[in-house]
Amino acid sequence: MYVLWGGGAPFKVSGNGTRTLLDSRGQKVELLGIAGHIIYEVKHDAKWVENDTKLAWVSTCDEPSWADECLRKFRASPRAKQEPLVPLKQLADAEHIYDARSKQVHFKRLQQDTGI
């Protein structure tokens, strides 16, 4: 969804938070493409909700606190403008963001936690 390089925390919201944050050096951290729209739809559209679709944040990283801050500050954007923006952090059913050295570790723990 996004890649963190550069200055790190603290991050500032640019605009409404649906596309861009600024790191401590003022460098842009951008949410990729229409990721915010897709994430919002998965958690709100009936075709996904009726099927009990789950969403998880899974990442191996050196700075989990940076990822957490970005997930709290980036906003998922609905297509209908009258609906409120929602922090990405609130939309996940599970979260595994830490230095695991392997995605396999994340997915094994995610499976244990969720039963999926």
Give residue-wise pLDDT tens across range 16-60.
999 999 999 999 999 998 999 999 999 999 999 999 999 999 888
pTM of the predicted structure, to 2 decimals: 0.87
* Nearest CA among 30, 50, 39 for reference residue 89: 39
Distance CA(5)–CA(45), nearest Å, equals 33
Residue 67 confidence class, pLDDT cut points 50, 70, 90:
very high
| Helix (H), strand (E) at residue 58 | strand 56-60
Dist CA 88 CA 15 (whole Å):
16
Interatomic CA distance for residues 20 and 31, integer angstroms:
6
